Structure 1
Amino acid sequence: MPSTTVHLLRHGQVANPDRLVYGRLPNYHLTELGARMAEAAAAELAARVGGGSRIVHLVSSPLLRARETAAPVARELDLPVHPDERIIEPRNHFEGLHVDGPELLKPRHWPHLLNPLRPSWGEPYRHQVARMAEAVLDAGRTAVERGGDGAEAVLVSHQLPIWLTRRSAEGRPLPHDPRRRRCNLASLTSLVFDDLGAGRPPRIVYSEPAARFYPGVNQLPGS
């Protein structure tokens, strides 16, 4: 069986001065700093190609912030961007709201807070893992078809689906504390498949090409 690596790239910082849950809402651009984060991730991937990696396939969530993050990667690696709905941000009942204590006390939200382990306020965790896993395996197969054994793919996605994919690959429970996610802005969660198609979980390699931009940046869980 062939080997491959699929890199899950989280988008850069998003302009969100009102600190809303923006989920799948349109027109949420990267900030200037977020664009620099995306450039840093693209430069890291280009350096890996310069060192011998064969990244031959690039996929993006259709949401604007992901497409803007994918753009410098496409430029640096000279690859087209393929949109894939399967790696989109999950739907969320709280889209468009600033979620704080007073907001959560409103009775209209209570039915959506009954089961945080599912979670009841949005797309179930296991559904997110299923669609992400399908997209990851398809991207790995496409990379191998285009570049041979060891070829790699990049998928530009969002914090929660990336983090759930990692937890699933590591055999950990999907319910978790959002404050403890290790999936920073413009980070790379790389899934290394030594034997694609054998059914074994990938090894995880995590890196933060944009870490120098993190000081002073308030990272909201999700997005």
Structure 2
Amino acid sequence: MPTATVHLLRHGEVHNPDRVLYGRLPEFHLSELGRAMADRVADHFAARRAAGARIVHLAASPLTRAQETAAPTAAALDLEIVTEPRIIEAANHFEGLSDIKSRLREPKHWPYLLNPLRPSWGEPYAEQVARVMAAVREHRDAAVEIGGRGAEAILVAHQLPIWVTRRAAENKPLWHDPRHRECTLASVTSLDFEGERLVAVRYTEPCADLLANAANTPGA
């Protein structure tokens, strides 16, 4: 059994009919389907606890969609939601805009496209990994303090910070094609630790059957 596990849970679908890259903007709430995803994830973690998992700690990004995704799990497991700003969505130059592909033809945006490896249009990947992993370690230790060896924590966050953290954990380059991220809505990326050492990365999709009808704005 690992010393501890931290589950990085992506939020559910957001009500976003204009397909805005909403980033860190406030008041983007879960859609009806997103609420169903949040309920499904709560059932997923409740089943894990019923099977013996010691899930003892829950934190979420301060953004509305993350807090709303965390709420059913908090109720199902009788846990308080700790707000964790370090797992917030990445900053992005294109935040608040829709139809991003057409925007790329506008010269005023070209300076932000010079270095896709960093990336130049937003928060550097390495900085995202650093802040998320700092939060992961702190909440991992909090879970172990509460639940002892084998304790588990859930952190509700966002696609890009989760994805680059996983790539770092797997010793892969942080640059990537956003269309090929394996981090679907309401998916769970689990990091297993033995003490300070990360020993395994696992990925599950509790809402796989709900994804066909979901909107999924890249980078959101």
Same fold per TM (> 0.5)?
yes
**Which residue in 1 is equivalent to 2:63?**
63
TM-score w.r.t. structure 2 length? Answer: 0.97
Decide whether the 8 Å contact of 2:90 with 2:122 is kept in 1.
yes
Q: Secondary structure of 2:212's match?
A: coil
**Which residue in 2 is equivalent to 1:161?**
161
Count the aligned residue pairs: 219
**Which residue in 2 is equivalent to 1:214?**
211
Q: CA deviation at 1:105?
A: 1.1
TM-score w.r.t. structure 1 length? Answer: 0.96
Q: Which moved more, 1:93-102 or 1:32-41?
A: 93-102
**Which residue in 2 is equivalent to 1:112?**
112
Question: C-alpha deviations, 1:120-140, integer Å up to 9, x for none?
Answer: 011000000000000001111
Mark the runs of 5 or more structure 1 residues left unpaired by the alignment.
none
Amino acid of the residue matched to residue 216 of structure 2? Q
Mark the runs of 5 or more structure 2 residues left unpaired by the alignment.
none
Identity %: 58
**Which residue in 2 is equivalent to 1:179?**
179
Question: C-alpha deviations, 1:88-110, integer Å up to 9, x for none?
Answer: 00111001111433311111111
Q: 1:18-167, aligned counterparts within 5 Å? A: 18-167=18-167
Decide whether the 8 Å contact of 2:13 with 2:215 is kept in 1.
no
Amino acid of the residue matched to residue 156 of structure 2? V
**Which residue in 2 is equivalent to 1:202?**
199
Decide whether the 8 Å contact of 1:158 with 1:222 is kept in 2.
no
Decide whether the 8 Å contact of 1:169 with 1:202 is kept in 2.
no
CA distance in 1, matches of 2:143, 2:43: 20
Question: C-alpha deviations, 1:162-194, integer Å up to 9, x for none?
Answer: 00111000000000011110001101101111x
Question: C-alpha deviations, 1:45-90, integer Å up to 9, x for none?
Answer: 0000000000000000000000000000100000000001100001
